[in-house]
């Protein structure tokens, strides 16, 4: 299949009313992000055909899965969706190999090279003869992902695949999901309430709240808008920076973000590894002169791009760093006036903390709980 | 007259009849019990309550009444019996097959219950997973639902077999007491007790029934463990 997944659906499910519309590009990860009860899983169920919206249209590329107006409603078994569940749902009476083959056999036969490729990407070589009961939680999820992929789906739906795992298991599975994301040529819809997973995996973000889409777009754009409200009450705008691990020094790791060097708590990643950093706007101070004698380690020169007043009385300032990326700073209106901040002014951005998935102490994980 | 362990040909005959009658009954009743259990556990259709009542009726009716009902239906002048005789030339009453039918009907509620419990204990999420992987209704039933219900199905076979071996009232009413044909262990036991001086024979029959019961319990336990291991529990 080529083409994006487009979803539009509206309906009442019990006391819950859902009204969502979004698109997931033909490749890459689209995260459905929101608190528990925001309607994320229900949205997946709607795409999969487990629940039927009263109105709407769902299409995977040119294949229409559901169209109320046209009277199309493919049953789940004919939608060609790969669905990865929170609880893996492997068939206990089948070996790992036969679990993997289950969907493939029903999608025109098991292709040996596809099988080998999936087994390789997900690291399942030594698990094939085992039964699900003899697998760890992380291994089960990897098998579940492989089983869904081998059914040659048009779309991969992942419903909080890591949320039932402890922190160590999450770290074990995440690299496999990253490889999957790099190799899969289908839309991946990834449901989560964990910002750490969003930052690590998502290319696009769809924010859900009470059954409505409140924001959607490329990850960095949505986070910069400050409309990702599910950060456990820490609603704030944030800059997402793509970086590479530089050198480790003691408890710190230097990360290069398009030329700017930021220090983070030590990362468990080798030099050269790609990482995404999140810098919350309220963790950034602005100074007109280079500050000295600060406890904050990241002080970067830049230029003010613009200032946007916000509803809460603060001002969101965008700062173009001299080297590369843009960061956001939340400052008070009073401060903006007394410093006479205007677009084009040279400033120093003091970054108090940088959140990055994989850091010791897991700063991002803190947002999730 | 020999000792306690001098087992005569009539005892062997009753044992053989019992095994054949019970074995055949389970063979035919088990697939139907699985189907009924599946319909009752998963089906949403009009008449479900009626089916439920019909399936369970033998468990709450006097066995003799069930045997009588079978006579009315399957007797030579009964609607099904007459048809069988005309269309197929089969006369069921007072045959070994009749004994199996009566025993199977009596054991049916037990068998359905065992299968149904294991179907209801199965995780419905697994069926949704199978469905998302492209398996339609019958495919799901045979590739996921029934294999996972196998402990219950095996249990139904064993308890059904044991119940058929012990069935008395319905069998004697519908199939009579024909030595070598429908005289099962309990019927032979009853007949021995009615015969003056038959206590020795009755005791031997009772001991054989006990031995079978113990063997069945052991077999059931072994089977259960095997099946559970196979289903990955």
- The pLDDT, as a whole number, for residue B153 is 94
- Classify B9-230 by CATH class: mainly alpha
Report CB contact under 8 Å: B131, A82.
no
Residue (of B127, B140, B134) closest to A106 by Cα position? B134
Q: Could you say which residues of chain A have pLDDT below 70?
A: 1-2, 227-235, 355-369
Element housing A107 (H / E): none
Beta sheet of A212-218, edge-to-edge order: A72-73, A63-67, A55-60, A5-13, A16-24, A212-218, A204-209, A28-33, A187-192, A155-159, A81-84
Q: Which residues of A touch B134 (CB under 8 A)?
A: 77-78, 80, 103, 106-107, 151
Report CB contact under 8 Å: A93, B139.
no
Q: pLDDT, tens digit, for every residue of A204-216?
A: 999 998 999 988 9
List, in order, residues 6 or more apart from A79 with CB less than 8 Å away. A47, A48, A49, A60, A65, A154, B132
Give CA–CA dist A236/A226, Å, rounded: 5
Report CB contact under 8 Å: A106, B134.
yes
The CATH code belonging to domain A239-368 is 2.40.50.100
Residue (of B169, B193, B58) closest to B113 by Cα position? B58
Q: What is the DSSP letter of A196?
A: H
B223, B57 contact by CB (below 8 A): no
In B61-95, which residue ranges form alpha helices assigned H by DSSP? 63-74, 79-83
Report CB contact under 8 Å: A132, B144.
no
Report CB contact under 8 Å: B132, A147.
no
Q: What is the DSSP string of A217-243?
A: EEHHHHHHHT--TTTTT----EEEEEE
Give CA–CA dist B44/A60, Å, rounded: 32
Q: Which residues of A touch B141 (CB under 8 A)?
A: none
Report CB contact under 8 Å: B129, A83.
yes
B85, B76 contact by CB (below 8 A): yes
- The pLDDT, as a whole number, for residue B220 is 86
Question: For the packed helices A112-122 and A96-105, what is the interaxial angle rounded to 10 degrees?
Answer: 130
- Tell me which residues of chain B, numbers 89 to 128, contact chain A at a CB-CB cutoff of 8 Å: 123, 125-126, 128
Name the E strands within chain B. Answer: none
Domain borders along chain A are: 5-230, 239-368
The CATH code belonging to domain A5-230 is 3.40.50.300
Residue A22's beta-bridge partner residues?
A: A7
B134 touches A: beta carbon within 8 Å? yes
For β-strands A155-159 and A187-192, DSSP reports them as parallel
Report CB contact under 8 Å: A103, B134.
yes
Structure token pair of residue B10:
């009539």
Report CB contact under 8 Å: A151, B134.
yes
Q: Which of B121, B124, B133 to mutate to test the interface with A (most CBs of A within 10 A)?
A: B133
Chain A residue with minimum CA distance to B139: A106
Q: Which of B132, B150, B226 to mutate to test the interface with A (most CBs of A within 10 A)?
A: B132
Q: How far is A42 from chain B (nearest CA, A)?
A: 14
Q: Which residues of A touch B233 (CB under 8 A)?
A: 92, 133
Q: Which residues of A touch B136 (CB under 8 A)?
A: 75, 77
Q: Could you say which residues of chain B have pLDDT below 50?
A: 1-2
Q: Which residues of A touch B135 (CB under 8 A)?
A: 77, 102, 106
A89, B123 contact by CB (below 8 A): yes
- The pLDDT, as a whole number, for residue A358 is 55
B175, B93 contact by CB (below 8 A): yes
Please, what sign has the CA dihedral across residues B193, B195, B198, B201? Answer: negative
Q: Which of A49, A50, A77 to mutate to test the interface with B (most CBs of B within 10 A)?
A: A77
Q: Which residues of B touch A83 (CB under 8 A)?
A: 128-129, 132
**Which backbone phi and psi does A28 adopt, to 5 degrees?**
100, 170
């Amino acid at each position: 299949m080529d083409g994006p997944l487009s979803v539009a659906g509206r309906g009442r499910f019990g006391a819950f009313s859902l009204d969502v519309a979004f698109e997931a590009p033909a490749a890459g990860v689209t995260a459905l992000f929101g608190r528990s009860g925001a309607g994320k899983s229900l949205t997946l169920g709607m795409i999969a055909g487990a629940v039927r919206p009263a109105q709407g249209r769902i299409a995977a590329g040119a294949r229409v899965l559901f169209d109320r107006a046209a009277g199309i409603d493919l049953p789940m078994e004919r939608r060609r969706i790969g669905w990865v569940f929170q609880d893996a749902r492997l068939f206990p009476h089948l070996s790992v190999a036969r679990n993997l083959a289950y969907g493939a056999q029903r999608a025109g036969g098991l292709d040996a090279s596809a099988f080998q490729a999936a087994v390789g990407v997900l690291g399942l070589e030594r698990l094939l003869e085992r039964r699900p009961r003899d697998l760890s939680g992380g291994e089960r999820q990897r098998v579940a992902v492989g089983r869904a992929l081998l059914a040659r789906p048009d779309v991969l739906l992942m419903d909080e695949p890591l949320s039932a795992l402890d922190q160590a298991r999450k770290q074990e599975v995440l690299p496999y999901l990253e490889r999957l994301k790099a190799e899969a040529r289908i839309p991946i819809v990834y449901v989560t309430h964990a910002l750490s997973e969003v930052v690590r995996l998502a290319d696009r973000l769809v924010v859900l709240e009470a059954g409505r889409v409140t924001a959607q777009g490329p990850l960095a754009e949505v986070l910069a808008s400050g409309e990702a409200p599910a950060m456990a009450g820490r609603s704030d705008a944030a800059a997402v920076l793509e970086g590479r691990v530089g050198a480790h020094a003691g408890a710190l790791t230097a990360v290069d973000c398009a030329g700017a060097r930021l220090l983070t708590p030590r990362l468990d990643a080798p030099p050269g590894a790609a990482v995404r950093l999140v810098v919350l706007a309220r963790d950034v101070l602005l100074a007109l002169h280079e500050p000295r004698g600060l406890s904050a380690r990241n002080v970067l020169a830049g230029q003010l791009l613009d200032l946007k007043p916000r509803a809460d009385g603060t001002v969101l300032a965008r700062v173009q760093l001299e080297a590369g990326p843009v960061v956001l700073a939340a400052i008070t209106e009073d401060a903006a006036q007394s410093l006479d901040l205007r677009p084009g002014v040279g400033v120093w951005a003091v970054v108090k903390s940088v959140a990055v998935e994989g850091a010791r102490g897991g700063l991002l994980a803190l947002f999730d709980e | 007259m020999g000792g306690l362990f001098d087992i005569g040909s009539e005892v062997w005959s009753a044992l053989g009849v019992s095994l054949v009658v019970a074995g055949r009954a389970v063979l035919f009743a088990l697939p139907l019990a699985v189907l009924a259990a599946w319909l009752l556990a998963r089906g949403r259709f009009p008449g479900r309550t009626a089916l439920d009542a019909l399936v369970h009726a033998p468990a709450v009716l006097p066995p003799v009444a069930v045997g009588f009902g079978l006579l009315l239906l399957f007797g030579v002048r009964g609607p099904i019996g007459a048809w069988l005789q005309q269309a197929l030339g089969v006369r069921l009453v007072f045959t070994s097959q009749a004994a199996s039918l009566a025993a199977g009907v009596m054991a049916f509620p037990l068998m359905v219950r065992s299968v149904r419990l294991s179907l209801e204990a199965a995780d419905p999420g697994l069926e949704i997973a199978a469905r998302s992987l492209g398996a339609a209704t019958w495919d799901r039933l045979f590739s996921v639902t029934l294999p996972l219900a196998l402990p219950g199905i095996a249990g139904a076979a064993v308890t059904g077999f044991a119940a058929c071996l012990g069935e008395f009232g319905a069998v004697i009413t519908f199939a009579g007491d024909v030595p070598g044909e429908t005289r099962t262990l309990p019927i032979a036991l009853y007949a021995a007790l009615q015969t003056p001086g038959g206590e020795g024979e009755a005791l031997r029959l009772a001991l054989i029934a006990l031995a079978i019961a113990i063997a069945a319990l052991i077999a059931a336990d072994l089977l259960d463990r095997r099946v559970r291991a196979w289903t990955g529990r």
